[in-house]
Structure 1
Amino acid sequence: MNYIKASFKISSDNETNREILMAYLAQLDFESFDDSGDEFLAFFRTGAVSEQDIEQSLAALPFQAKFSLEEMPDVNWNEEWEKNYFQPLLINNQVLIRAPFHKEFPEAQYEIVIEPNMAFGTGNHETTSLMMQHLSDLNLKDCDILDMGCGTGILGIYASMLGAKTVTAIDIDSWSFEATIENSRLNQVNNLEAFIGDAQLLGNKQFDIVLANIQKNIILQDIEKYISVLNDEGMLIVSGFYQQDLEDIMGKAAELGLRKLEIKEQNKWIACAFQK
């Protein structure tokens, strides 16, 4: 399968603007992002996104950004992930995350198999790992879980393994919806329902725990909706933002009556748990 690499140069290049750019591009059919270099990179399957689509997204940004496109070589992406990106990962000496193509890996109490396909949500990113550490600390028996921005479905799958009664997984990206269904099947998780959309999908169903590993601006925008579907004494766990953004998240949470429970940090990334 062929992929196109889109390289973006941002006029005021900083973490906040990269997050904003990612949020806009996530509404298109991009499959993965890489913000570790001098340029912000995004990848999509050939034919899935047009130059006009990208130009329209950039025109809506509150800053200037230019892009170039490059066709990627036709390689076996699973092999590339195995060699360069996605190695078996053991979190808290409790849960192992691996791909179907991994041949050697340690034993663990829980084992989650994720088909990466260049997706966000393999556990190798700090925010996913931090969210899983929060889940490991909880008793999820008979809990109803909501996973907003589910990505590969990894958090919902782990919650199910930990005893959750039901898991509702929502993502605006159609690939994430399909990946969550596929990864649930791989892990024999039968109590997870996936949906395409955003917080507007949330109706009257109440949840014991809401997970939102998304992005600061989306969290601030939708946190009231998350709280509205949270049971009394329920828990909201959020990540996807840096240490410098914590004050904004904490302020909004306090304004809406949430009580801070615990903050976890890794390489300046934050995951914070609140109680209603």
Structure 2
Amino acid sequence: MDGIWIEISVITKSEALEPITGIFYGLNCPNIAIEDPDDLLLREQGPLTWDFADINILEHKGNAAVIKAYFSQDDKVEEIVEYVKEKLIEIKELGFDIGEGIVEVKKMHEEDWANNWKQYYKPVKITDKIVIKPIWEEYEKTAEELIIELDPGMAFGTGTHETTRMCIKALDKYVKPNTTVFDIGCGSGILSIAAAKLGAKHVVGVDLDPVAVDSSNQNISYNDLNNIEVLEGNLLDVVDGKADIVVANIIAEIICVLTADVKKALNDGGIFITSGIIHDRVDMVKEKFEECGFEVIEINKDGEWNCIVAKSIG
């Protein structure tokens, strides 16, 4: 792991997190981490982030919130930084308290990440059945537990983030024997593995990021599963056939783009499990579901995040 990424950080206040995060999404950067002192959690937002506590940064930033976005060395970083600074001024003029509004840039080695975050990642029980266990940790399982062996590496999805937990709980409820599951934006493969462990007959994971595809395949091998297929590609473009369940732990805007295609990819009465939806985006997703022929059957909340479960109708 000798790759180098450029980390652009914005030091701000909690109330400005959403619009500032939107700056980076507008730059088509899905690799975002958010440190929010209001919930003391480093939130996962993309395939290069994890939910470990970055203690040193939190100490020297005090009560500030920090948004970190990761770019490759090939990106025009100087232009990106200037663009971000311009957008921060606009956000401040809109009335948001952006705090210090400082933009910082530094290089990050993948090796440094790999060595630092593991100390914060321990076995966690998600449901009565499902336990997520890092491959380097010991854990004594009970007869009823299903263990997911995981090394997320550089891919999104350790199982400790609220959105991931809610998706696993929904899979636990809706996966039945002989179920086919599509996992869109599979990241580390955690949801695909959970579906397979819960009894799905066939699982297809899809991710645009080749790092995530490699991570998924590696984690599948740790769990000795032979019924999961992982594809590299954009959303449902590379998936053939139909599923009984589609799960997508991404963001509300992408879920809305994806919904019409999911409708076509589901069997009659199929279930669409979605998360990564903040409170302010719930109505937007619900309206899109209704427009595309889905009935919302569950909305679960954990912290500031929502997991919406919908059923294909008509």
TM-score range, shorter chain: 0.7 to 0.9
Structure 2 counterpart of 1:88: 123
Question: How far apart are 1:31 and its partner, in Å?
Answer: 2.1
What TM-score, normalized to structure 2?
Answer: 0.75
- Aligned ranges 1:213-232 → 2 under 5 Å: 213-232=249-268
The reply on whether 1:134 has 2:138 as its aligned counterpart is no
CA distance in 1, matches of 2:78, 2:231: 25
Q: Which runs of 5 or more residues in structure 2 are unaligned?
A: 33-45, 54-63, 89-101
Counterpart amino acid of residue 156 in structure 1 = S
In the alignment, the residues of structure 2 paired with residue 186 and residue 13 of structure 1 have an alpha-carbon distance, to the nearest angstrom, of 40
1:19·1:215 contact (CA, 8 Å) conserved in 2?
A: no
Question: Among residues 280, 297, 301, which one is paired with 1:261 in the alignment?
Answer: 297
**Counterparts in 2 of 1:105-144, with a 5 A limit?**
107=142, 109-144=145-180
d(CA) in 2 for partners of 1:128, 1:68: 29
Change in Cα spacing, 1:58 to 1:10, as seen in structure 2 (3 Å) is farther
Structure 2 residue aligned with 1:189: 225
For structure 1, the residue ranges without an aligned partner over 5 or more in a row are none
CA RMSD across the alignment: 3.2
Structure 1 residues 102 and 247: alpha-carbon distance in aligned structure 2, compared to 1, 3 A threshold: same
CA-to-partner distance for each residue in 1:202-230, whole Å, 9 max, x for gaps?
45511110001111111111110111111
- Structure 2 match to 1:166: 202
TM-aligned CA distance change 1:232 to 1:109, over 3 Å:
same
Change (3 A) 1:184 1:269: same
Quick one: percent identity of the two aligned structures? 26
Question: Which is higher, the Rg of structure 1 or of structure 2?
Answer: 2
**CA separation in 1, counterparts of 2:262 and 2:284?**
17
**CA distance, structure 1, for counterparts of residue 67 and residue 20 of structure 2:** 10
- The answer as to whether partners of 2:5 and 2:110 remain within 8 angstroms in 1 is no
Displacement of 1:10 in angstroms is 8.9
Letter matched to residue 220 of structure 1: C
- Superposition TM-score, scaled by structure 1 size: 0.84
Task: Work out the CA distance in 2 between the residues paired with 1:169 and 1:239.
Answer: 16
Contact 1:9 1:67 (8 Å CA) reproduced: yes
Where do 1:1-276 residues align within 5 Å?
1=1, 3-9=4-10, 13-15=16-18, 17-19=20-22, 21-22=24-25, 24-26=28-30, 31-32=48-49, 38-43=65-70, 48-52=72-76, 55=79, 64=87, 68-72=104-108, 77-84=113-120, 86-104=121-139, 107=142, 109-199=145-235, 201-202=237-238, 204-276=240-312
Counterpart contact for 2:47–2:156, Cα < 8 Å: no
Contact 1:148 1:212 in 2 (8 A): yes
Aligned length: 270
Closer, same or farther: CA 100–80 of 1 in aligned 2, 3 Å: same
Q: 2:41 corresponds to which residue?
A: none
CA apart distance, 1:140: 2.1
